Amino acid sequence: MKSYRNAARFTLALLLVPAAVLQAADAASSATRPNILWIIMDDVGAELPCYGERAIKTPHIDRLVREGTLFERAFLTAPVCSPSRSAMITGMYQTSIGAHHHRSGRGTEKIHLASGVEPVPAIFQRAGYFSCNGGYPLKGTAIGKTDYNFEWNPSIYNGNDWAARKSGQPFFAQIQLWGGKNRNDNGRWYREAAPAALGTLTSPDNVTLPPYYPRDPVLLQDWAEYLDCIRYCDMQVGEILKRLEDEGVLEQTFIIFMGDNGISAAREKQFLYDSGIHTPFIVRGPGIPRGAVRGDLIEHIDMAATSLARAGIEIPKSMQGRDIFAGDYRPRDAVFAARDRCDETVDRIRSVRTERFKYIRNFHPQRPHLQPNAYKDAKATIRRLRELHAEGKLNELQERILFAPTRPAEELYDVVADPFETNNLATDLRCRQTLETLRNRLDIWIRETGDRGPEPESMYDSDMAVYTAKPNRVVEGNILLNKQWAREGK
């Protein structure tokens, strides 16, 4: 097996080969039809220097900020990858298209998009664009991460690299950065690839954790590795920008840079607190204001409509995303998000967020925040938190936030005064009007967007058959527990 370093050299060479034959044609044709490029980080939230992080530097992402527009308040409509990506690629709320349960439709029961709803790459293809989706670093001819929860035709992608397009043909491309998932290989990436790529590694002593986490060595090390994952993403962004420059197409390429969900930890990924759904969102390209910062609320499904508009393609009437650079753009006064089943763990949570307040509704308040979940419980950080809880070594805030046996049915936070969302105001009489207003606002959104809600038990069983195709006692036990809780009305 090749080492990480040799593999990186090989794949980097592939990515940075200039396509000289295409440069002249691209420069001419893309003046009116820009290339569209989405750079998507896996498991990375807004812990970037341009959003306030001080422990690391990201010069290439900072370049995107200098040469483009940074959105301070961009939010995902889902806090886990498959529903988030299903929404992203259709410009629709995942709850509206029935793709809101994580890794659903994988069994014998399938999910089909309604008439008039289709993946964005297919729309670009019909308009003459070369559509591609590549993992990064690029490997062979494999298509990059999709993770869509509905049935789709692989032909919506012409390949994984725009180098294969016709001369002068504009491209719609996605580049998938492994991001925070580099921490998923039991430290191998951190031991073998990170030092060679980054030089020095982030010291755990320099890490600032949210207040609901103890400054425990295991958690500090994991967060330091996460920050180095971001530094690695930054290096990759630099390589991508260099390739575009070498090919002479950078100034004809409309770029959106973002993440698909927050850091995989106890209260971020899979949950609707800002740490799970606040995403970096930076846009650079023709006609985009340079060095601008926007504070209006946007949703990640807006990237679909915005990209189509830049290419001069009509936005489907069914699309719920908005063109955030349109001349007649009406800023959102609230953004919405949903969390549903994640793997074998059943849940249903909805939220609405304004500039100042966040309202969260827990449909299963009798279940704990950290429900058993094989994916999360395998992580060293979750195992360590459970150990500290059992040993009575967590403070009152940490116990209440992470290990309370039940959850409030409603949560209300002043996200300006309380950015870590630790002080629930739902029972504060002084906030009664705000609570009722946002409660009603969420009800209207659920109704008007056709929120599909809980999945049928037959669909759950269909997908769980895939999860248990190989015997897994932990998953099997969690499935039985979820069914028991459902029978008990939890």
Phi and psi, residue 14, nearest 5°: -60, -45
Question: What average pLDDT values come out for the chain (490 residues) when binned by 10 residues?
Answer: 36 41 40 91 98 98 98 98 98 98 98 97 98 90 96 98 96 97 89 93 98 98 97 98 98 98 98 98 98 98 98 97 97 98 98 98 98 96 98 98 98 98 98 98 98 97 97 97 97
Q: Considering only CA atoms, which of 401, 403, 409 is closest in space to residue 364? A: 409
- β-pairing verdict for 35-41 and 253-259: parallel
Burial class (CB in 10 A: 0-12, 13-18, 19+), 484: exposed
Respond yes or no: is residue 81 known to be catalytic.
yes
CA atoms of 90 and 439, how far apart (whole Å):
27
Please name the amino acid found at residue 91.
G
The three-state secondary structure class of 196 is helix
| Residue 294 dihedral angles phi and psi, to the nearest 5° | -115, 135
The residues facing 20 across adjacent strands are none
User: Which amino acid, one-letter code, is at 393?
Assistant: K
User: In sequence order, what are the beta bridge partners of 318?
Assistant: none
Q: Report whether 175 contacts 39 (CB < 8 A).
A: yes
pLDDT of residue 22: 41
* Cα 234 → chain centroid: 17
For residues 412 and 424, what is the distance between their CA atoms, to the nearest angstrom?
5
Q: What is d(CA 283, CA 293) in angstroms, rounded to the nearest whole number?
A: 10
CA distance 488 to 490: 6
Residue 447 parent element (H or E): helix 432-448
pLDDT attached to residue 32: 81
Q: What is the pLDDT of residue 3?
A: 37
Rounded Cα gap, residues 190 and 182, in angstroms: 8
The residue assigned the tokens 């994916």 is 375
CB 326 within 8 A of CB 296: no
DSSP code string of 421-445: --S--TT-GGGHHHHHHHHHHHHHH
Question: What per-residue confidence (pLDDT) applies to 186?
Answer: 82
If we measure between CA atoms, which residue out of 21, 16, 17, 307 comes closest to residue 174? 307
Token pair of 376, please?
């999360």
How far apart CA 228 and CA 194 sit, in angstroms, is 8
Please give the pLDDT value at position 2.
Answer: 37
* Residue the block writes with tokens 């805030």: 397
Kindly state the tokens that stand for 243: 């390739």
pLDDT for the residue 368: 97
In 363-453, at which residue ranges do the beta strands (DSSP E only) sit?
410-414
Which one is catalytic: 50, 81, 132, 229?
Answer: 81
All structural domains of the chain, each given as residue ranges with its CATH number in brackets, are 4-327 (3.40.720.10), 349-487 (no CATH)
List Cβ<8 Å contacts ≥24 apart for 362-365: 362/407, 362/408, 362/409, 362/410, 362/411, 364/407, 364/485, 364/490, 365/406, 365/407, 365/408, 365/409
**Residue 183 CB coordination number (10 Å):** 23
For residue 383, what pLDDT is reported? 97
CA count, 13 A, side-chain hemisphere, 287: 15
**Amino acid at residue number 23:** Q
Q: What are the angstrom distances between the C-alpha of 55 and each of 60, 135, 258, 350?
A: 16, 28, 20, 32
To the question of pTM greater than 0.85 for the whole model, the response is yes
Q: Measure CA 104 to chain center.
A: 17
Distance CA 284, CA 129 (A): 19
Question: CA end-to-end span of the chain, whole Å?
Answer: 48
Residue 254: what residue type?
F
Handedness of CA 216, 222, 226, 229 (dihedral sign): positive
> Distance between CA 292 and CA 286 in Å, rounded?
14
The token pair that represents 441 in the structure block: 């606002």
Cα dihedral across residues 199, 269, 187, 385: positive or negative: positive
Separation CA 223–CA 229 (nearest Å)? 10
Strand 130-136 to 171-177 pairing? parallel
Q: Can you give the pLDDT at residue 396?
A: 98
Query: How would you label 385-396 residue by residue, b for 16+ Cβ within 10 Å and e otherwise?
Result: beebeeeeebee
Which residue, among 116, 115, 108, 112, has the nearest Cα to 99 in the 3D structure? 112
